[in-house]
């Protein structure tokens, strides 16, 4: 009878030590915390656009928002690339998950990025005066992106929690 090798040892022999998976899950949680903080700040700024009916020109607020959005997009892009190239393949390898769930989650990233791109495109076309109605429309793109990303981060963390619970049940 062939001795049974513990799963953790077997996976480590194949090139993915368990600590690497644990570190990757922790990195995901840390990055989500940072992204959610930035996203909440963007939400607050976007929500404030158009509040003051006495403001005639919203270009200054929109320029400030555009700078923060650009920085957020850089961070989000780096996070997304890391997920696609490292985390999701590792999880698929460990747990035998199909990439369908991950593909759907990455599509959510893309939808949010389309909303953000719509804001950035509109911000690029701003002239000297941006009236309240136009500013609110531009900000609405970011509010929609916020909704998509907020749900997206929640779903990713729920999926990883479920996988972690499953791994604990089978002795990882």
Q: In this predicted model, what pLDDT tens digit does every residue of 78-119 receive, in sequence order?
A: 998 998 888 888 887 777 766 677 778 778 889 999 999 999
Q: Which domain holds residue 72?
A: 7-167
For residue 153, tell me if it sits in a domain. yes
For residue 50, tell me if it sits in a domain. yes
Give the predicted TM-score (pTM) of the model: 0.81
For residue 2, tell me if it sits in a domain. no
Q: In this predicted model, what pLDDT tens digit does every residue of 129-138 receive, in sequence order?
A: 999 999 999 9
Phi, psi of 49 (to 5 degrees): -65, 125
The answer to whether the beta carbons of residues 60 and 126 sit under 8 Å apart is: no
Closest CA to 106 of 133, 126, 79, 128: 79
**Dihedral sign computed on CA atoms, order 127, 129, 135, 139:** positive
Closest CA to 73 of 24, 39, 104: 39
Domain count, the chain: 1
Residue 5, both tokens = 């090798």
């Amino acid at each position: 009878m062939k001795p049974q090798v513990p799963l953790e040892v077997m996976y480590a022999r194949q090139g993915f030590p368990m600590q690497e998976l644990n570190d990757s899950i922790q990195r995901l949680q840390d990055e989500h915390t940072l992204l959610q903080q930035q996203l909440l700040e963007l939400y607050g700024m976007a929500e404030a656009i158009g509040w003051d009916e006495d403001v005639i020109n919203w270009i200054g607020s929109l320029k400030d928002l555009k700078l923060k959005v650009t920085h957020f997009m850089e961070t989000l892009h780096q996070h997304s690339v890391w997920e696609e190239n490292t985390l999701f393949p590792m999880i698929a390898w460990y747990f035998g998950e199909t990439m369908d769930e991950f593909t759907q989650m990455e599509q959510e990233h893309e939808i949010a990025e389309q909303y953000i791109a719509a804001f950035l495109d509109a911000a690029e076309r701003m002239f000297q005066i941006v009236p309240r109605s136009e500013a609110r429309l531009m900000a609405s793109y970011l509010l929609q992106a916020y909704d998509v990303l907020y749900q997206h981060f929640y779903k990713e963390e729920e999926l990883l929690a479920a996988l972690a619970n499953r791994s604990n049940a089978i002795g990882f």
